[in-house]
Structure 1
């Protein structure tokens, strides 16, 4: 038998093994033959088999040798570039593709390399060319969404992922990617809808059930959230994520006894990650030494932001400010590391632009309208707005809209803040109708209820709120600026565009300055119907402070309003970082906490002192 005949027989043998589904055996036979004698056709087959078996590095090794032997072979060059997309060496792809003319396959590989390399604008341009030629290429639509999101165009990213799903309705990763984008953009209802769609097509997928549970929790449906998370736990006991999310849900809803039962139930098969839940349970029960032991045992498989958060809270409660602050820094760095790329524009830059638009508009106080208005609660995050809305939520016929996206949706509808001053009567009527429609979807008989629309970031939305609801009562909750900024820095927020501002102490202080500048400008120019509530007075002697607020909104005082534990039970889930406090009796533990952190706050006190003095606080 000649060498050519022997090689042909060998290739047939390898192909027969592969066609029979015995890919590993086929590859072993090819590697054995190559060890005895190098042959280009066998090496090409070995590279193909490595790719089919998911061994990108093995494929690259073969293709590198093939490319070195035949540098002008277009197919080898393309296959090598394609194999490199699954490795960490994507920087090699562009030089490989450079000699080749543009065509969809070349552009598709180049686009992915640009995306992996962080060249998002280049990736977007390349994907546009690919999709013009291959409009049903679902994976390219999904990858295009990544580039759009990185460039700050969340709506385009949503549209691209929806198109990807249209072309591949069974592709679970596309649903999960869309859920993640909607979460990041705080589109919680849409997030839940997509998660439910994913669960309908893949009910036994643990990642889908986990995403569904978190989406249901974000929308306040605790029973649905718990059901999905418990299903995720049963689907794959080797995955700790579902167990942890279920436990943290129970902790955040103050269901400590149920959390204890969960810990007992999963302990036989849970790994070291269970220490996170055991630490939280001990911390919430006031067992600080025991909590510290559990927190110290949390393995690195748990995200740094979660490990550091619990340890920081324990250190703060034990009075070790220096250790706590260092751990809060670690928490924030860890949160940023897992939050994805930063938005193209800082939150405070958008607030500043809105303030400039207000300054450019004619000065005009807004007269009270003839239509009913909600009561608005504003106040910088961590100022005490949750405590206030918990108390007011016990009023007869009242319903608190806690951080619901009603006004933000109207903001998006208006667009440029420079348009607010020029909105005509028809536009305002349409926007008010949209607000009431959204409210009615949340609150039964909303038109007959006292709506209390609470959102800390309403402070920066006053120009729009004042145009929509002239003369609407606004309750502004004030707290010492130093305590507020410190508390924001210490809170393990879910990082949307605004909350990213609080992962850095200086950025948090600058954001505070920008938001209060916006508030003061609106109050001065628009003549807001506002009443101030002082957090420190509310926790020290709540009745007089609450009576004054109730008189302002035309409601009657009742001693039952001050029962925070009953109020918390009645209101259900708390969406903010204040959930653990609202079930406790009103206390002053967090008042003047900044004094223990005076040294750490020193760099930002010059930014905040003018606001402390403006409010009448001592610095």
Structure 2
């Protein structure tokens, strides 16, 4: 047989799935051509297809010895080394492959994946973004890069990478489609993740990881029966791994809590235990069960462990949030002094009716309830929380960081362009109906009042207020996606300082800029829902408050609510969350002196009920 005949026979055997025959043909051919590059590659492939990874690794090691300048051979060697658990050898091989051919994106992606496993999220993000630059149309590179961006807290970067996702599906790679769904969930694109998962399950109906993620998404979307059915199916599936069954039981515990059965949730969680050494979510869930059962000591003990483990994990993506110099609640929002404000030129800007309505307040103060009430009105339209002003500030910072040090340098054209950018970002998240006003609910937009006031000086603000101790307790019992907020919640003491500092800045800014603000107290809202709703309607010049009274029905009709209170806002208004902190009073005694200025300012009582 000629060399071409031998190669054709090997390729035919590989194509027919006859991997042992392909191996035999390769070994026979290598007797006469022991250093033939193509035959060695085919031999390595045939061994890999037979799951003989160590034998395949030896073949590719020989290829790197014979052809040391080949980026492809070094990349293949690294892939096999990683599959065999030798990450150090894999990383060295990928580095050589990248150096041998910087235009080859494959080793950069594979090296990036190893960095993700090592939790070096920023380095992984940078390397994977380099791979996307080299191959911008590669779904494989973009999905992995988007995951790295999410883990590195670069949600904007992830969003840009994921924009063409509809052109990729259905992917001819089920694990990659699964990862796409996971990244979509991380990014907050939950309805899109449902679409991807349902498509995947139409082809692989019993895939445990897809059923688990879809169950979790259904729970977040308040489709509780569907979530329970999927979770039960995995918990009882022999084909599911122990880790997958554990995850299913954790989801069943969440559903038990939502079904007002905290005893069952506690039983499940204590029986199955955490999903790993770093599973801080397990302890947050356990604390919620103990809280519902009235066992405050056990709840606080579980929360201490939850925050300890979460801090370890968050230091990988945001180490700057945990330094001694970091403020209690770090922010990059620009400040403005009275002297600077006097220099602000008078500019044309939208009137109140053409400006967004901003709903602000410290997290867990009732902003989501207000948002859902407003969104239920046909004249208003809200969207999930988005850090639009942070993105605008980043744009200015990249152009010239001095602008944010003194906003008086912004002129008419600058403000007009920034407003255009703002509404372009809004259009990416929601399609505004004709003739409605936008509701921009982001609690910590209260830190951005100077910047917002520069662009929308006539805008109306609704400040959500709630007893500071109830706010702190609710925050402390949450795991927030934002590392900055998670770090602020790492202890009640730090959280108290974060609350006071944030409120002080807000009060200083309100005193300086005099925006049109209505304060809405959670306690008043739940005690006199009709009267307070009418008050809000008058403030916003709405002729009819009636639609807002049915906010819970409106919220239940939504496909997804992307805040921690997604399960509360589908219920009618009630007093269950009022005064909850009193059961934890002994844990709050040390922080009451810190909170005292705000307790007095907002006229909240810190005495026993």
TM-score normalised according to structure 2 size: 0.74
| 1:598 is aligned to 2:585 | yes
**Partner of 1:288 in structure 2?**
262
**Partner of 1:482 in structure 2?**
469
SS in structure 1 at match of 2:447: helix
| 1:163 is aligned to 2:133 | yes
State how far apart, in whole Å, the 2-side matches of 1:572 and 1:90 are: 42
SS in structure 2 at match of 1:382: coil
- 8 Å Cα contact 1:237/1:269 also seen in 2: no
**Partner of 1:181 in structure 2?**
149
Mapping of 1:138-537 within 5 angstroms? 138-140=106-108, 143=111, 159-163=129-133, 165-166=135-136, 169=138, 172=140, 175-182=143-150, 184-187=153-156, 189-190=159-160, 192-193=162-163, 195-196=165-166, 199-200=169-170, 202-212=171-181, 215=184, 219=188, 222=191, 224-232=192-200, 240-263=208-231, 265-266=233-234, 268-269=236-237, 271=240, 272-273=245-246, 274-301=248-275, 304-338=279-313, 341-343=316-318, 345-346=320-321, 349=327, 357-359=335-337, 362-364=340-342, 370-371=349-350, 372-415=354-397, 416=401, 417-445=404-432, 448-537=435-524
SS in structure 2 at match of 1:494: coil
Bigger CA drift: 315-324 or 225-234? Answer: 225-234
State how far apart, in whole Å, the 2-side matches of 1:155 and 1:411 are: 22
Residues 1:479 and 1:141: Cα distance change in structure 2 (over 3 Å): same
Residues 1:267 and 1:345: Cα distance change in structure 2 (over 3 Å): closer
Bigger CA drift: 240-249 or 263-272? Answer: 263-272
Residues 1:462 and 1:350: Cα distance change in structure 2 (over 3 Å): farther
Cα displacement (A) at 1:215:
1.1
- 8 Å Cα contact 2:359/2:440 also seen in 1: yes
Per-residue CA deviation, residues 47-95 of structure 1 (Å, 9 max, x unaligned), is: xx99x95559x98xx99xxxxxxxxxxxxxx99x98998999989999x
Residues 1:319 and 1:548: Cα distance change in structure 2 (over 3 Å): same
SS in structure 1 at match of 2:531: helix
Cα displacement (A) at 1:278:
2.3
SS in structure 2 at match of 1:531: strand
SS in structure 2 at match of 1:448: coil
SS in structure 2 at match of 1:362: helix
Residues 1:594 and 1:606: Cα distance change in structure 2 (over 3 Å): same
State how far apart, in whole Å, the 1-side matches of 2:411 and 2:347 are: 16
- 8 Å Cα contact 1:213/1:226 also seen in 2: no
- 8 Å Cα contact 1:369/1:471 also seen in 2: no
- 8 Å Cα contact 2:385/2:441 also seen in 1: yes
Per-residue CA deviation, residues 395-446 of structure 1 (Å, 9 max, x unaligned), is: 1221012313433332222224315332111100111122223334444455
RMSD: 4.6
Gaps spanning 5+ residues in structure 1: where?
1-17, 27-48, 64-77, 98-104, 113-126
Residues 1:365 and 1:392: Cα distance change in structure 2 (over 3 Å): farther
Cα displacement (A) at 1:590:
1.6
Gaps spanning 5+ residues in structure 2: where?
1-18, 28-46, 63-73
1:542 pairs with one of 510, 529, 538 = 529
Cα displacement (A) at 1:549:
2.3
| 1:136 is aligned to 2:104 | yes
Residues 1:139 and 1:603: Cα distance change in structure 2 (over 3 Å): farther
Cα displacement (A) at 1:530:
1.4
State how far apart, in whole Å, the 2-side matches of 1:411 and 1:351 are: 18
State how far apart, in whole Å, the 2-side matches of 1:615 and 1:325 are: 27
Number of residue pairs matched by the alignment: 538
- 8 Å Cα contact 1:538/1:545 also seen in 2: yes
